[in-house]
Chain A
Amino acid sequence: MTDIPDQTTDALMQEQQVLARTINSLTDQIGLFEMVQDLSQKIISQFDLTHILDTFAGIIQEITGFESAAIYLFDSHGEFNEIFSTGLEARSIHKLLPENSIIDWVMAQGRWTLLTDPQEADNEKVFSILPIGTPKKKSGFMALVTDPEQSIYNQKRISILSFVASQTAIAIENQDLYAQMNKSSLFLGNIVESISNGILVTDMIGNVTLINKNATALLGIRTKDIRGKNYKDLLETKMADEVERIYRQIRTKGFVVESMVSHVPYKEVHISIGITASLLTDPDNQTIGIIFIFRDMSASKEIERLTRLDAMKSEFVSNVSHELRTPLSIIKSYTEAILDQVDPEDHETRQQFLQVIDDQTDNLTTIVSNLLDLSRIEAGKYDIEYKAFTFRDLVSNVIKGFSKKLKTQDLYVNMDKSLPEMTADEDRIKEVLVNLIDNAIKFSPEGGIINIEAVHKNDAIYCSISDTGIGIPEDQLPRIFEKFYRVDNSDTYEIEGTGLGLSIVRHIINIHGGKIYAQSKYGKGSVFTFSLPVKRGFDGV
């Protein structure tokens, strides 16, 4: 029985020893793994290749105690290049590299491999290769030169080294992806910068997370280091108020909000800005901010203006066609009647019809000459011939020409006796007067009073022509000098015209250095006032 306890004790002792050794070894390994994991965590968290390789080399140095080492990475063509080296003999390591087939073989093994047998090395160094890669991807390898005395080569270390190498490979790959991401965010950044609209992104409390140059320009932001600042501190009050309003709206509504604001980003620069705002969400559909797009509406306005001009031109073609055909058909009908039907002895009817033909021919001439004037103006060939004349005489002459046209209207003239002689293109100024007086008569179909006044002031003649006619609706008043534009009153009166007269009048006044403007009350009458410098070359009246 005594044997038995002895044996039992022995066995127990042995088991205890084995257990202690295992525990020790495990503790050892756990400690080592913890260290390795800690270090490899360091590697993984790096996004800079030099740092990764530096940390990696440090760990390997710790484990293998190498004297020199170099790291080679494969490029996209499968060629390897030295990226990193450390140690005294680092520079000559590449001379020790075996032929490619051996490197390929080591890579295929995927584990730390000694290429010099430590037993045969004598005092020579031991050369080894540690592949860097995961089972899926080979990134490169490390070549190590170790003192044979220091060389510790065993299975445990091999697996630890392989683990570290694979972690490094992952880190290298991550860093590569990170670099690519960086590149693509740079790429996106460039796109954002080149968009002609202003783009401003803020988080939910209004701090700027992204802004492009056009936004700073459009919004007139002068502050540097905009990122992270609140929009309220960046925008001028009016714009900030509008953005705040959009903020509240978008947070309650939760979708795209559009708005317009006229805005003065710089002194005397007035622009109207269209704002579109929408919520920005991450891939999990969480709201992470608001994106504002600011558009300079001046450009859209220009397009709108051109489109309108285009529409006016086609309307003009149809107007001109109607305006030309109407007098032509009258001329034709009356001529035919005289030729075929009017009794040759009926002088009165003949006379009457010939008068109609004569008037309509004048009408046609005016239309055609207006068209010609316009095309000359457009081509920049509208020449002015200056000569001296008296404005009073010109007005009197023009009025004489209208005596036949005045049927139900009364015309009064009131001119300064001191009106000086002026230098201008008399024919063109006559055209202006004819046009304005003709309009005054034309647009007073029910009769009324037409007043012509002229005064001399500041080296200029100011002339106004007023009527008590149908007037111009207020909203159309700013457009009456635009070419082709015709006041839309077709529901009340049908008055002939091509929409060219006033645009030509304004052109004539302008090239003489004068100005023209109109005032009107719809249904009450209109006043056209123009100024003309007395002397040639006197600008800015």
Chain B
Amino acid sequence: MEYKKTILIVDDMKHIRDILWFTLKKEGYKPVLADSGPEGLNILLNEDTHIDLVVLDVMMPKVDGFEVLEVIRSHKGDISKIPVIMLTAKAQKDDVVKGLKMGASDYILKPYKFKDLLSKIKVLIG
């Protein structure tokens, strides 16, 4: 069986998680879902799951996307090198700049075109 690249989706909105799961699966990826920052980190740090890319929402309660990104990038092991696409409804430039400075691989603004997200994912992990 062909190896499927695994994409972790971290978003507190169920509808967003659901549609990303549906569409990414259709494109031949293996989506994994997390409804909060801590849960996303749990999945990432679990040695049994290999994650190829993270789609990370910025505006989330308790732990926001920036905090999750910080943990990922400061990790001692390979996890720190995982490509991360920030997904944000915040159109403010500051947030985009902040995300990129913190080591986000790319960003996409809500509402987004799925094709745009897909092409960014393809550039990063094929």
A residues at B contact (CB < 8 Å): 318, 321-322, 325-326, 328-334, 336-337, 340-341, 349, 353, 356, 360, 490-494
Contact = CB atoms under 8 A, between A and B. Distances in A.
Interface in B80-97: 89-92
A332 B12 contact: no
A355 to B, nearest CB: 11
A319 to B, nearest CB: 11
Count chain A CB atoms within 10 A of each CB in B90, B111, B114 and give the residue with the most. Answer: B111
Contacts of B114: 333, 336-337, 340
Interface string B1-36: 000000000001101101110110010000000000
29 contacts: A318-B90, A318-B92, A321-B90, A322-B59, A322-B89, A322-B90, A325-B91, A325-B110, A325-B111, A326-B89, A326-B110, A329-B16, A330-B16, A330-B19, A332-B112, A333-B15, A333-B19, A333-B20, A333-B112, A336-B113, A337-B19, A349-B22, A360-B15, A491-B61, A491-B62, A492-B62, A493-B61, A494-B12, A494-B60
Given A325-B110, A360-B15, A490 B89 contact: no
Contacts of A330: 13, 15-16, 19
B111 A333 contact: yes
Contacts of A494: 12, 60-61
B62 A329 contact: no
Nearest to A343: B26
A8 to B, nearest CB: 119
A337 B25 CA distance: 12
A359 to B, nearest CB: 9
Contacts of A492: 61-62
A93 B18 CA distance: 115
A356 B18 CA distance: 11
Contacts of A334: 15, 19
Count chain B CB atoms within 10 A of each CB in A321, A325, A332, A333 and give the residue with the most. Answer: A333
A331 B62 CA distance: 26
B112 A321 contact: no
B111 to A, nearest CB: 3
Q: Is the interface of A mostly helix, strand, loop or mixed?
A: helix
Contacts of B18: 356
Contacts, number: 67
A337 B110 contact: no
A340 B20 CA distance: 13
Nearest to B59: A322
Contacts of B22: 337, 341, 349
Nearest to B112: A329
Nearest to A491: B62
Contact of B15 (A318, A336, A356, A493): A356
A494 B18 CA distance: 18
Nearest to B108: A329
Contact of A333 (B16, B60, B62): B16
Contacts of B112: 329, 332-333
A329 B55 CA distance: 15
A321 B62 contact: no
Interface string B87-126: 0011110000000000000000011111100000000000
A443 to B, nearest CB: 14
Given A329-B112, A341-B22, A321 B15 contact: no
Contacts of A321: 89-91
A142 to B, nearest CB: 84
Contacts of B91: 321, 325
B114 to A, nearest CB: 5
Contacts of A356: 15, 18-19
A100 B24 CA distance: 112
Nearest to B90: A322
A427 B60 CA distance: 35
B23 A337 contact: yes
A456 B66 CA distance: 53
Contacts of A329: 16, 89, 110-112
A436 B112 CA distance: 33
Count chain B CB atoms within 10 A of each CB in A321, A330, A492 and give the residue with the most. Answer: A330
Given A322-B90, A333-B19, A333-B23, A328 B111 contact: yes
Contacts of B92: 318
Task: Report, nearest first, the 10 A-B pairs whose CB atoms are least far apart.
Answer: A329-B111, A329-B110, A494-B61, A325-B89, A332-B111, A333-B19, A328-B111, A330-B15, A341-B26, A325-B110
Contacts of A490: 61
A193 B15 CA distance: 66
Interface string B58-84: 011110000000000000000000000
A363 to B, nearest CB: 10
B27 to A, nearest CB: 8
Nearest to A492: B61
Contacts of B113: 332, 336
A353 B60 CA distance: 24
Given A322-B59, A491-B61, A494-B12, 6 more contacts: A321-B89, A328-B110, A333-B111, A334-B15, A337-B23, A356-B19
